Structure 1
Amino acid sequence: MTAARPLRVVLAKVGLDGHDVGVNLVARALRDSGFEVVYLGKRVPNDAIVATAIAEDADVIGVSCLSGGLGYFSTGLVGKLRERDAADIPVIAGGIDEPDEISRMLDAGVYRYFGPGSATEDVVAAFVAAVQDGRGA
């Protein structure tokens, strides 16, 4: 009998945001909780995120943007996942955007949104729940 592989997450910064302290803290918390983390870095286009998530057999994707545009990028990411028949990979978004944009991205299929100051434990719990729910876009 083989042991189940760890849950795998792909994390990336989208847009022009260069602030990566938060996503690095999330990466460490996920790793410490048993996730295998693939961090793509800053200014990663949606096509690269989707391609990596598929290639790495990711269970969930996390994207972050603090410079605005989180709704735009995460909604586009959900669309790209659908185009590639990978809508079963849930997307969790963190960062800053206008309330209407946050609502729009959640309506479009983003699993959860977290703003600045969110408790790390809540973020990790959402990644676990996204996998357990088996909910994609």
Structure 2
Amino acid sequence: MDMSPLPPPIPARRQAQAAIPDELDSSEESSDAASPPPKKLKQQLKKRDRRSAGAVIGDAIAKLVDVEASKACHNSDPHKRVTTAIECVLDNYSHVDADHIAKLADMMGTGYSATIFSALGGEARDAWIAKSIHWSS
């Protein structure tokens, strides 16, 4: 029995290429020219953020400060939101009957009514007020 070492196995791609004559096989040349090799493509996709940990933390803190500052600028206090909505009702709907104004004021203090009222405007707000007055009657 012959104990000589076996030649290394040939990958399936090379076996298939060996079966095709060189003048007919242009697939490798065209594919290499059209796209980068897979290893190079992976390197292009994985771009590392080279900032220091301090810079990353500093950016995160700056973003947090911006978010907290924007929260402070908004009317997050429910009492302030209700008061603002009632003032707007009094300013813009003075033609409405006093009983309806009182019902609207009570309604502004419940649930999200003041928020909805403040978010709406124009004809949509008028329709919402009309609907609210008729429902509570």
Q: TM-score, normalised by structure 1?
A: 0.29
Q: Which has the higher helix share?
A: 2
Larger Rg: 2
Q: Which has the higher strand share?
A: 1
Q: TM-score, normalised by structure 2?
A: 0.29
Relative contact order (alpha carbons < 8 A, sep ≥ 6): 1 or 2 greater?
1
